[in-house]
Amino acid sequence: MSKSVAEIYEVFLQSGKVSTDTRHIIPGSIFFALKGERFDGNKFAAEALKKGCVQAVVDDAALEKVEGCVVVPDVLKALQNLARHHRNNLNIPVIGITGTNGKTTTKELVAAVLSKKYNVWFTQGNFNNHIGVPLTLLSIPPATQIAVVEMGANHVGEIADLCNIARPDHGLITNVGKAHLEGFGSFDGVKKGKGELYSFLKENGGEIFINVDNLHLMEMIGEYPWIGYGQEEGAVVKASEISADPLLRFLLTTSRVEKKPVQTCLTGLYNLDNVLAAASVGHYFGVEEALVIEAVENYVPQNNRSQYFNSGKNQVLLDAYNANPSSMSVALENFKAIHHARKILVLGSMKELGSESKSEHSRLIETLESMDFEVCYLTGTEFKEVSSDDKRFCWFEDTSELRAFLEKQKIRNALFLIKGSRANRLESVAEVL
């Protein structure tokens, strides 16, 4: 039996829930039989119905006569079309956020600030791709007043596709840098891909929040009107007297207040842009500055992003969720600025750099050679291909080998920076420091 998106939507409205995994079925929901490299959701349709789903959307014609199954040409497209249809029926602002680095932290900060005044729904975890964005939209609770949708991509055209589903009417790009070069092809490809958010907002008369200090973004936006944050002229929300030793603090100035102190729980000067972005969105939506500051100061980073802790033996800056040349550069610049007698680096290799991988890792080693630190522990095969005469470098085949080594060293009274791509799982190293 085949049905239109509108017909599936009528069923969806009964519970407002969808499921994609039979291990976590929501009774009364619609099951979407998605496919992956190692699974075919069509094979689990009957199980989903048995566990309480009211309907199973499948694309296997053999299931056409199975009661409760709705056959469509492509399940993923059906999910995306349903999400788009749902978005078109929502009468709320949707804020789209993308960028090379900081989009998850910015999304969470924006949501924290807006939640001081509104009922807010925002992307959970890293559900920011072609599946995650539709699921985010379809999970928006009825009482929601503003939605904040994170959008990720590693190829040109993907942000445009996500914009056509989420249809944001406000948005921001955190930054553009060298990441996912394997998919984007070049830095110009990154700018083109991320810039698709600007293009959508321009075409539809949306509001754009922009970091006026970022020359790449200012060039990308062109003549379109914007709402600025940063330190340069034109910013509505500004920061001054900025420091991060190791936690970020600054004085906040807006069109309504001047030089209000802000003490965050975030490490790194690079997080200033993320905080100001959230303050800018809050300012636009009428959240009082006192509430903005309260939200920002109470935000505690999770999931190995910009975290700082004192283990009792050492101080640790843990930023091991992801790494690329851009994020590695700002993390190292911040580390250089921190005053400490004993600095130690633990760095994992950077992934998805394609043909640029060796040159980018070589460039990173050159940068490190000019820095002041006691020792730098490296892990990942990408670092094996580059060399240095600097005796402060120690290379390990993998993270488990590095962890075992550090566990035996029993280092004390040091400041560690732990930074690397998700694949390195460097958070396990932090456990022994």
* DSSP secondary structure letters along 141-207: -TT-SEEEEE---SSTTHHHHHHHHH--SEEEE----S--HHHH-SHHHHHHHHTHHHHHHHHTT-E
pLDDT of residue 179: 80
Q: Which domain holds residue 31?
A: 5-73
- Among the three residues 298, 317, 348, which one is the final residue of a domain in this structure? 298
pLDDT of residue 126: 85
pLDDT of residue 387: 77
- The answer to whether residue 95 sits within a structural domain is yes
- Among the three residues 274, 298, 322, which one is the final residue of a domain in this structure? 298
pLDDT of residue 172: 98
Q: Is 39 left (phi over 0), alpha (psi -120 to 50) or beta?
A: beta
- What stretches in the chain show pLDDT beneath 50? 1
- The answer to whether residue 316 sits within a structural domain is yes
**pTM tops 0.85:** yes
281 shares its domain with 319:
no
Is residue 163 within 8 A of residue 196, CB to CB? The reply is yes
Can you tell me the distance from the alpha carbon of 331 to that of 426, in angstroms, rounded to the nearest whole number?
Answer: 15
pLDDT of residue 103: 94
Q: What is the distance, to the nearest Å, from the Cα of residue 273 to the centroid of all Cα atoms in its chain?
A: 14
- The answer to whether residue 166 sits within a structural domain is yes
243 shares its domain with 109:
yes
Total of domains in the chain = 3
Q: Which amino acid is at 52?
A: G
pLDDT of residue 1: 45
277 shares its domain with 321:
no
Is residue 137 within 8 A of residue 166, CB to CB? The reply is yes
